[in-house]
Amino acid sequence: MKQDAERVRSLSPKVWILKWGCIPQLENHYPSPWMGAIRTLAVYIAMTFLRRIVMLSRSRKCGRYLEARWVNRAFGTIQSSIALLVLLSLVHPSRAFAVNPDLETVLTGSRQRIEKLDYRVTGRLTRVEGNGKRTSYKFVAKAHWFPDGLRLLSEFSGPGSEKTSVLLHMSVSGHVTIEAVLPGEEAASALPFERWNDPLVGSDFSYEDMVESQFFWKNQALLAPEKYGARDCFVLKSMPGSQDRTYYDSVTSWIDRGILYPVHVVKTLRGTGQQKEFIYYGLRQIGGVWSATQVEAKLQGKPGSSILVIEGGSGKANLGRKDFDIGHSGAQQRK
């Protein structure tokens, strides 16, 4: 026993940690200097604690008072270090610990898919009532990712002559703004946030449903994998941060593991807890980019559903800024 103790005391604190398994040896998987700092601090806390223990064991003349003073100093240092570690974790919560490689795969794949968008499509949006009655709108839409983010312009034409035009802009950080020209209006103006959850031309899609901003939110968690139909899926739960403007409390996406495209999405409305379900049909790859030919939206507790159908278009439209002029943007926000 005495020889074992002497052998342990002869080891440096770092070797002692690795040899006796107090903490695992870490690989440098951190994508930013912040993660390196957090990792270094965590190792420092463990080393400080063990160094104090080794120093105590070496001191043969430690009385009770001296031993208590060393212990107080050791734990004082550790408490200060832990406080700093917690502070760093709050500043960068998503980077506080080693990154889940599957989570990185899902987020990177989903964001890159959106960042490659450059399409022009035509189709129809149909609201199907519980009794089978159908109301259809024709639409044209186009989208392109620019250096400052995504722009998506859609125009819906109703059974009569009324038209609704919507321009969504999502910045590289996921911040969304919406402009619209509604029936009876001649100029575009900013759509106030209070109307983002309004039905788009009477359908189960809202204005903010037209863009997948959830993949750019700050809070992301990977749940246990599941099957959706015959597809093996990652299950990603996205939750907005305080800086994210949305009517949703969370968005859960079932993402096909092979193509990294969502096949099923459930959005939970903030406050009410009501859920909206989106199902993606007819997945296809055009020009290396996956897309769906149909998307169905169902609102919990509401009979019927709405179906968005793509009938034609191009996945490589070579769009520019001039293609996203919705008209003169009103300086005064719609009341």
Which 3 state secondary structure label does DSSP give 81?
Answer: helix
pLDDT for 279: 98
Global pTM value:
0.70
Phi, psi values for residue 106, rounded to 5°: -65, -50
Comparing C-alpha atoms, which of 257, 221, 266, 259 is closest to residue 239? 221
**Separation of alpha carbons 178 and 191, rounded Å:** 6
Radius of gyration of the chain (CA): 28
> Which segments of 201-302 are extended strands (E)?
219-228, 231-239, 248-256, 262-269, 275-286, 289-299
Model confidence at 319: pLDDT above 80: yes
Under DSSP, the state recorded for 302 is S
pLDDT higher than threshold 50 for residue 71:
no
pLDDT bin (cut points 50, 70, 90) of residue 76 is low
Structural contact between residues 317 and 153, judged by C-beta atoms closer than 8 angstroms: no
Q: At what angle do helices 2-10 and 33-58 cross, to 10 degrees?
A: 140
Q: What is the mean pLDDT of the chain?
A: 79
- Dihedral angle, C-alpha 227, 228, 229, 232, nearest 10 °: -40
Binning pLDDT at 50, 70 and 90, where does residue 124 land? very high
Distance CA 241, CA 217 (A): 7
Nearest in space to 117 (alpha carbons), one of 258, 319, 326: 319
Only one residue has tokens 């832990």, namely 82
pLDDT of residue 160: 74
pLDDT reported for residue 43: 45
pLDDT above 70 covers a percentage of the chain that reads: 67
User: How far lies 154's CA from each of 95, 141, 205, 305, in Å?
Assistant: 37, 4, 13, 20
Q: Which of 51-55, 101-105, 207-211, 276-280 has the lowest mean pLDDT?
A: 51-55
